[in-house]
Structure formats: C-alpha cells, structure tokens
Structure 1
Amino acid sequence: MTSCLIKRFALSATVTAYTALGLVAPALAQGAFSPAITVNDGVITAYEIDQRARLLVVMNTAGDTIETAREQLIDDRLKLQAAGIFGIQATDEGIQAGLAEFAQRVNMEPDAMLKALAGEGIDEETMRDFIISGITWRGYVQSRFGGSVQISEEEIDRAVASSTGAGGIRVLLSEIVIPLTPQNQAQVMSLADQLSDIRSFDDFENAARAYSGAPTKDNGGRIEWMSVTKLPPQLRPLIAALSPGEVTAPVQLPNAVALFQMRRVEESARPAPRYSEIDYAMYYLPGGRTPENLAKATDIANRVDRCDDLYGINKDQPAELLDRQSQAMGEVPRDIALELAKMDDHEISTALTTANGQSLIMLMLCGRTADLGEELSREDVANALRTQRLENYAESFLSQLRAEARIVEK
C-alpha cells in the first residue's frame, strides 16, 4: 500500500481502530446477508452497511459512520429506483471513468487503489456500487430537471462581475443556517424550500430567529458588508444573481442547509481583489459548544495574534487538535468557506462545530492569496449556475422520495 493513500485516507490505523471499537459488529451481528433495511421493494443487507461504513472510515468521514452508511444506502436505493423507472443506468465506460477519477484523488491507478482497499477488507463491488449510485443519479437529475434550468444573460453578467471582482461588488446579506441530520432531512429540506419563497426582510429575520442555528440568528441573520470575491466560488453566481429581497434556493452545506437573502448590493468603479488561495487554522476543543469551551476559546483568542501562535497553544497537546490548511478557494468546505468570508486576517470565529457537535472549532483566518490569473469564461459561469440549480432540484426531489418511500429498518 502506498504512503499517499495512507496519508489521504488514513486507511490502516483508522480502520483498525474502527474495528477495535466494535463499530462494525452491530451490523454483522444480524447475519451478513440478512435484510437490515427494506426501501420500497429493495433490500439493504447488514453486509452492505458494514462495507459502506468501512469505506466511509477510509474516506475520513466524521461522525457515526454506521449510521451514515445506513442513510447513504437508503438514499442510493431511492436514487436507483427513481432512475430505473426512466431506464437510466450507468454504463461500463462511465463506471471505469468514475473509478479513475476517484483513484486520481489519491494519486493512484484504479487497480492499485482497489487492491489497497481490498487489503482493508473492502470489496471492489462496494466501491463500484458507490460510483454507480453517483453516476446514475447525475444522469437522472440531468434528464429529469435539466430542461427546467434556464440561465439568463443578465445572471451571467452579474456572476462574471462577482467572480472577477469587476466593478467592486459588495453585498449585504442575511443568512439562515438550519442544522441537518439524517433523521430530520426530509423536514428540513421541506422547510428550506418554503423559506426560499420569502421576499420580505422582516419575514426572513423572523425565520432566522426561529430556525437558524448560526450565531447570527439573534440579530435576524444579518451579515456585515462583504466583497463577493470572498465568498466560496460556487456561491458567487447565486448571490450575484439576487435582487434585494430575493432569497437563494437552499444551499447544501456539511450537516446543514443555508439560505441567503440579498439586503443590498453596491458597485464601485474600483475592482475588488480576487483570491486564489486561503490559509486558515482550526483548533478543536473537544466537548462541543459548552460555556467552558467558549470561555477557553475567548482566553486563547486574547493570547494569540497570528495563526503561528496556535502552535504554542497546542504544545504538549495531541497534534490532531490543530489543523492548518492552505487551499484553493474552491476546495475549502462550504461551511468553513462561508465563515471565513465574514472574517479579516487573524480574526477568530467559534461559530462552527464538527463531529456532530462534539468538538468546537476555533477557526482563524491566517491570510488570503491574491489571484492574478485569467478570468472565468461566460460558459464556465453559466455551467456553475446550472450545476448549483440542478443540485438544489436533486436535494429537494430526494427529500420527497424519502417522505413517500416505505422504509423499514430491522
């Protein structure tokens, strides 16, 4: 097994610990190939749950991987069932391309990756099923909803300006961030769809106070002025397309769904800077958002001026408590990217948690790197807008499928 795969997916040590903790046993205790869940007329076996959970651990998925595996496999059955009605299925060429793309992420050839996974007890079929579900669902979503997505030239114009910094566009937004779990997914997505129809500033503020889990809920979700070039690249076209009062479609985040309302937009002749890379640090405080942890975070914030100071704070502590990243803007997880967009260099936020709320993230912005590269093409921007809208259609429809399905867990 190559060191690259270990570095990227943390295979051996993580899976060994996972098995030692007894997390695999509950699924296998039912009998490897006995039905663990039925989804309409489809069956999910205990063995499939165990295999998917092992794959999730290899992929460094946070939280309860057994529960996540169950939820993912239920979604996969619903996706394949919906696609099957339309006769849509993955081709051999598409599956091979998907395997190659996945292997490329860890700098390996597909055969070498599959061999490494087999060494961790993960069948080739498990990886193929994971790929097939994604390919089939994308094909179905494109076929079912692709014709409904129309991008206007005006939207492209505004999105191009927001992506390049032309005109120095600043926006005044409000946000609603609703925590999402496998148990409340259908209800949250239905609520988010309703909230996206809001056009009143007062109604949005009231909804933020009632439903949002973000720290901004207490002031109605209001965010201070920011340049759109600080937003995650995937969101810039969506935000730039809004007029005052309008609300985005639900935006999927890790463990949450977000909506944004445009309060005001301002342009100037002076271009805003673009950024190619962002440097940030995350210091984890186990225990979640407790008063003790928040007080500890405040104390640390008072003692540090720069990200480098956090290394001294973490001295003699487990190395994994401090995670510093330097990533392209488009590679930063959306929830982190959105929080960083609100921050200046060396500012600290305690708005986020990880591991299902079990650790408080003390997030610090170390700096941004200016982008001097070529500007995006109109086609790139249009495709980004189209892709985001299709994702929103897909999430909403999957929630509907779940609500209507017969799901029985053994």
Structure 2
Amino acid sequence: MKTKLINSLLPLALGALLCCSTVQAEVQPLDRVVAIVDNDVIMQSQLDQRLDEVRQNLAKRGGDLPPRDALAPQVLERLIVENLQLQMGERSGIRIGDEELNRAMATIAQRNNLSLEQFRAALARDGLSYDDAREQVRREMVVSRVRQRRVAERIQVSPQEVQNFLASDLGKLQLSEEFRLANILVPLSEGSSAQAIQAAERQARDIHAQLQQGADFARLAMARSASENALEGGEIGWRKAAQLPPPFDAMVGALGVGEVTEPVRTPAGFIMLKLLEKRGGERGVQRDEVHVRHILLKPSEIRSDDETRILAERLYERLQGGEDFAELAKSFSEDPGSALHGGDLNWIDPNSLVPEFREVMASSPVGRLSKPFRTPFGWHVLEVLDRRTSDASGEAREQQALNLLRNRKYDEELQNWLRQIRDEAYVEIRL
C-alpha cells in the first residue's frame, strides 16, 4: 500500500541517562529547524520522518535507492511547498472536521477493498500509525482545497475553445488511446537570464544522455527533477494526447513504451516525458449518463467550513419541507455554471466528476435528495433526475472536450502557481 505521511512537530523524548551517582548524564540531541517557511518552520524530525516514508515506498518498488543525502533536498523542497499551501489554507479558514475526515478514511479503506480495522492493520504492517495517516489525509485535503480555490477556479474554457478543439485533429482523437507517463523537470524561474537558461538546458541534456545510456528514469526523477511528482518517480498517471500541452500532445503518439522524449523548453523549464504504458483506443463505447442538479456552497474567508455545512443542512431541510429546488439553487448555489439554470447540470458523464460527487450520485435513487456532502469544491446537495445509457452524443463529446481542456490548463497552471508561491515566499534553508 502506498501511503504518504506528513507529521506535525513530533514530541521529543528529552532527559538524562542516569547510570550512577559518579557518571554524568548524557545529553540527548535536540530536534532542530531545517527550514523557515514564511511564518512556520520545518523540523529535522519532520524531514527524517518523510525521508523514511519515501525510502520505504521506493524500496517496495525494487531497484537501487538513491542515497539519503541525495533525496533530502528533494524531500525538503516538497515539505516547503506543502507547508506554504497549508499556511494558505489556515489563513483562508479551511478546516477539515472529524466527521468529514472519518468519511474520507472509510472511503480510502473501501477503495482498497478493506474494512477500517483491516486498513489499520495494513498501516501497522507498514510501520505507520492510523493517527498519522489521518493527519496526512487531513493535510492533503486542505492542500486540495487550496488548489481548487487558487488554481482551478481561475481556469476558464470558452464555448468557442470547445468547438475549435472538437474540429481539430486532436479533438477527433479524444476517444483514442491513453498514455501512462512520467516526467522530469529541470526548472526555470520567470525572467531567467540567458546564462541560466543555457545551464538548465545543459543539465537537461545531461539527464537525457544518462537515460539513453540506460539510467533508471524514476531514480533520476527523484534525485534531480523539480516536478511536483518527483518523489513518485516522476509519474503523472494516465493522460490522453489531447490533455498534454504542445508539443507533447503530438510527440507522445510517436513514442514506444519505455521511450523518452527529447528535453523540451516550456514556461516551467525543460521537460522530458517517458511513456510507461498505453491502453484504449476503442470507439463507439456505450456511455452511462446521469441527469442531475445540485446546490453548491463554498467556504470562504468570511464563512468557515462548519458554517457552510450548517447552511447546506438548512437548505436540505427546506427542500425536504417542499421548497422548490430550482429557486433555492438560483438564490444560494455558488456554481456559476448551473445556478442560473436552477442547479441543473444536464446529462453528464459520471467519469467527468470528482470521486466524492460521483459516489454520492451513484448511490442516490432517482427523484430523492442526497444529504449534504463535501467535495474539494465545497458542500453540495444533489438530486438525480434520470439515468440513461447512450452512445457518445454531440453533447457528451462537448463535455469531454471541456474536461480535457480544463485538465490541460490545470496541469500547466498548477506547475506555474507552485513555482510562483515558492519564488515569492520567504524561505531560509538550514539543512
């Protein structure tokens, strides 16, 4: 089981080792600060904890492990960027309540086909505590919501972009095969000098040459990549060609499994992609679609997550009392795409939705309200109006194109945003 943990400051076992009256007590080493990050710090104990977890996960994959001192800067950099996002969440009033966290843990166990007790036992076998796992999940949920507010909500895709995409060669291939990819990023800051660009390109060429000579991609990614997924061996998961920014959208189709692209200059730096696996390519697949409407309420700087949940529960009670769903959606829903239409999302492919929304929708009978539930976007109440199975209609094609374009823009914007908040932060490394 692949589990990532971040510990808060660990309690220290301080004291003297008393042997006898004639022997002086030995002084136990104190924890120390390895980085100051804006208004917070990262401790050596946090770094050691994360290093141990990363090395444990890497050991399960097999192969040689990078030296601990080579991994330490990478792990510390990941902790710094996570810490910045957690501080943003704290300032924005993002809170994860115990009830919501318990539901998330139950969902994780269920996805691994385990009961909660079996999940606890599996963590213990990996040398991990359930409490540490809960804390890590809580932090990842905070980070996810920070990203939704700061990145996802800035992304806009116009109807004309959708039509242009559908008319393009890539758009016509939207049901084509998918590619499981990994990347290595040699970073460049905005406004880098010509000398810095040349140095980054030399570094990228050196990494590419090592890969051509048989070096392990995952190990090089962990040791030298600045990408968000470096500690996962650079793996970014499954993507269609249309989800990749140019020129990778055209390059990936020509790759054989195991091959690596040449380094390509992008706004974030020089990137190489490796094709790990590919699948799919079938056309004319039957699609399950759901006609659903919802009311979305978002926590904000002036309304906490708990206050938002309470408002969602009150609206649920009003709907149960017979008030009109469409009218309440127009008055309260904070989903700009559906509020004006009474919360109606029309016919939608469940696979285009976040897992939390999809799971509640799947378990909701037609015509019955769901209880308020949480997704990364906020608190929802939904009602399933109907279900059907259909071919990939023009409407479904437009929705798929919209999702592909949003994902493409999100990946680009996320990397740029992470680099921006890192560059703008006060960071003092004492490693």
Report the TM-score range of the alignment, normalised by the length of the smaller protein.
Answer: 0.3 to 0.5
Question: If the length of structure 1 is used for normalisation, what is the TM-score?
Answer: 0.45
